[in-house]
A and B are shown apart, each in its own frame.
Chain A
Amino acid sequence: MSIDVVARDETPASGSQPPAKRHRVLAPPVTGQEIVLICVIAVLWVILGFATPAFVSAGSIQPLLGAVAPIALIGIGMTVVIITGGIDVSVGAAIAVCSVITAKLVLVQAGLSLPVAVLISVVVGGLLGLLNGVLIAYGRVHAIIITFGTANIFLWLSLKLFNSTTVNNIPDTLAPLGNGAAGRTLGVPNSFLITVVLVAIAWIYLRHTAGGRHFYAIGGDQLAAELAGVKVRQRVLTAYLLTGLLVGLASCIVVAQGSNLGQNVGSGKELAVIAAVVIGGTSITGGRGSVLGTVLGALLVQTVASGVTQLGWRSELSDLFVGVAIIIAVGADLIRERARRKR
């Protein structure tokens, strides 16, 4: 983990002197990885458009964007977590907790309104994230172990709440976040618009504010960041808290997209989110990455999944392509990294 002692491009901005040409302080606004992703997605869309014209219709793209939204939303938080050098494998189980609380207690049993439902879900998600954050930042334990543990605990909680049945007949209170006509503005799913807005905010925050750069500093070299006055523990706590809050929001979208909720909701989502983040070029060892890449990664994964189904192939094949996409995306990044070091 700390073998990699080569200085990274993205040391926190020192402020006063202008950056030298060869050693830019910030990564370019759109990194090489992201350009490649944009091209790959574009090529895939064109190919799929020719192969099955139905792919480029609104009826196909709208659900695609709707499916990208929750993954990309949680991906924002996961990107920040991974930039600090951590990881959160409990998000899948956290989705299950938030969505069953929202669907069963808030909507079906209490019949509350949309803002209240979203608020409750976000607060619940925040609490789960806070638990992870406190344990990781103050217990000083490896993030992957703690979140594997809390994943089990969250899963137990969700199954307890489900009480061995699916949640049926969920009222359409959350329709503005769903896949129906009420969930679109100018033809674009609201859930995706929300994602775009939040990604833009996160992108600017991470890139252009001191607070945002602190996350990169922690991931680059935690000890150095601490010595430079970064409040490492608070920052790390914030990263997991943020992920939890976004899980809460994403869960509302998940609930809104169906009229019933199965007990397996969220299962495997943690890996889907991590896949989107790493395909987007965020380094799993920390210190490097962007939320833009994460959205593109999520878009690529969903394009592949949707393409495979529409071509009439077995839907399970899409996992194979996701695996290959991860290898290619990260492999390309490794090769570029090596080239950078040689220079």
Chain B
Amino acid sequence: MSIPTAAAPDLTAQDDQSGPPTPERGESLPARVIRALLTQRIVLLAVLLVLVVVYFMVLGATGYLTAAYDFDYLSAALINAVPLAMLGFAELFVILSGRGGIDLSVGAIVSLAGMIFGFAYGRWGWPLWLAIVITALVGAVLGLVNGLLVAYIGFPALIATLATYYAYKSLAVVINNQRPISTKPIQNLYESTARSVELPLIGSWIPNVPKGIFLFLLPTLVVVWLLLARTTYGRRVYAIGTNDIAAQWSAIGVRATRAGAYALSGLISGLVAVVTVGQFASARPDAGVSGNGMALPAITIAVLGGVAITGGIGRVSGIVLATVLIVWMNAGIRLAFEGNAGPQYQLLALGLLLVFAALLNGFALRRYGGVG
């Protein structure tokens, strides 16, 4: 679904191998800085992040903001990064796997898996660990449905996940007659997931950090990174995303690998469901699809983090930096505008960032032959 021809990137890539613009040694310092900014997405994101934080801190110091934009506030805002970054990882797997990979259903999976968690933990009184495992498994199965449709039957990812988005969203609402589940155990979850805590040993020197970061985000981050960068499966995902015919000829199980990417996306969405239930202290049937839904921001994070929508290119570090950038930017905007204007300007900022990042990607592709 691309306007830039699929052939265009290939052409530039070939030029790059044969032609002169290989990393020149004689490049001047400014040229090198610009090259790093444009081709190394994490460099650009890091610079933007520093700019955003400094800008809002200056605004805060001059008394323009409605509250202090300090490290405590930034740390507390990180709770919003947990679902966002995790769903960013979910999209990372799917988009990396190539052939127009995208997952519109993550928000609907969050809703449906969250309701299952609500039933298991809040109604049937299952032990917490078992409820979490079941929820993650339900998510994985829902994701696997996408994977089977896309990898084995050959549905375009956009269509398959659009269809399951509708189906899961509807099931999540119908399963408990549109009512949320917020029994006592569910309400108590807020304490154990969203509350900020002081870290042991070094805690007195740094601000308190939301528990969800340690309980969910960091473990997921480590596992995802290990999986993508240090296992055969991860290399296979990059391989099929880069060129799935070549991957097929190298005896990689393209279909199983691709289906696995969708199942992993579902699994992560299932974990996000637990986080979301804890954060709201209630299992809401529309948790992942209300308003703009969760899929859009997740895809935005992935693209902003430098994941190429054509597949095969993308890193965990990009997703993390992009998430932190968005979360801290939103936190600043919330303080800079009063009432409803805040969330509205968050939309504007997100949209502008996305368009800007996409245009920059296109430019970097033509100028340097790729973004890393």
Contacts and interface: CB of A to CB of B under 8 A. Distances in A.
Contacts of B345: 156
A91 interface: no
Interface string B129-172: 00000000000000000000100011110111011111111110
A323 B166 contact: yes
Interface of A: 1-3, 82, 84-87, 135-137, 139-146, 148-156, 159-160, 164, 222-223, 236, 267, 271, 274-275, 278, 284-286, 314, 316-320, 322-324, 326-327, 330-331, 334, 338
5 contacts: A142-B310, A144-B309, A145-B358, A149-B355, A317-B170
Nearest to A87: B1
A271 B170 CA distance: 14
Given A144-B309, A152-B354, A160-B344, A326 B159 contact: yes
A87 B309 CA distance: 14
Interface stretch (B3-11, B56-64, B204-212): B3-11
B359 interface: yes
A3 B310 CA distance: 11
A2 B158 CA distance: 15
Contacts of B153: 331, 334
B348 interface: yes
Nearest to B102: A144
B299 A323 contact: no
A284 B3 contact: no
Given A149-B352, A314-B174, A156 B347 contact: yes
Contact of A139 (B102, B166, B244, B358): B358
A135 B361 CA distance: 13
Nearest to B155: A330
A137 B359 CA distance: 11
A161 to B, nearest CB: 11
* Majority-rule SS of A interface residues: helix
B174 A148 contact: no
Nearest to B157: A284
Contacts of A322: 163, 166
Interface residues of B, number: 61
B98 to A, nearest CB: 9
Contacts of B149: 327
A326 B149 CA distance: 12
Interface of B: 1-8, 99-100, 102, 104, 149, 153-156, 158-160, 162-171, 173-174, 177-178, 244-245, 291-292, 296, 299-300, 303, 309-310, 339-340, 344-345, 347-348, 350-355, 358-359, 361-362, 366
B340 A324 contact: no
A262 B215 CA distance: 39
Contact of B166 (A326, A330, A331, A334): A326
Contacts of B6: 1-2
Contact of B99 (A1, A142, A286, A314): A1
B165 A285 contact: no
B347 A153 contact: yes
A150 B166 contact: no
A316 B352 CA distance: 33
A1 B169 CA distance: 28
Nearest to B172: A316
B1 A145 contact: no
Contacts of A141: 3-4, 358-359, 361-362
A5 B242 CA distance: 17
Contact of A323 (B7, B165, B362): B165
Contacts of A278: 159, 162
A86 B348 contact: no
A317 B2 CA distance: 33
A274 B104 CA distance: 13
Contacts of A323: 163-168, 170
Contacts of B361: 141
Given A140-B4, A331-B153, A149 B99 contact: no
Given A145-B358, A148-B354, A331-B155, A86 B99 contact: no
Contacts of B99: 1, 3
A319 B344 contact: no
Given A159-B344, A284-B158, A327 B163 contact: yes
Contacts of B299: 148
Contact of B5 (A137, A143, A222): A222
Closest 6 A-B residue pairs measured CB to CB? A152-B351, A323-B167, A2-B6, A149-B354, A323-B166, A319-B170
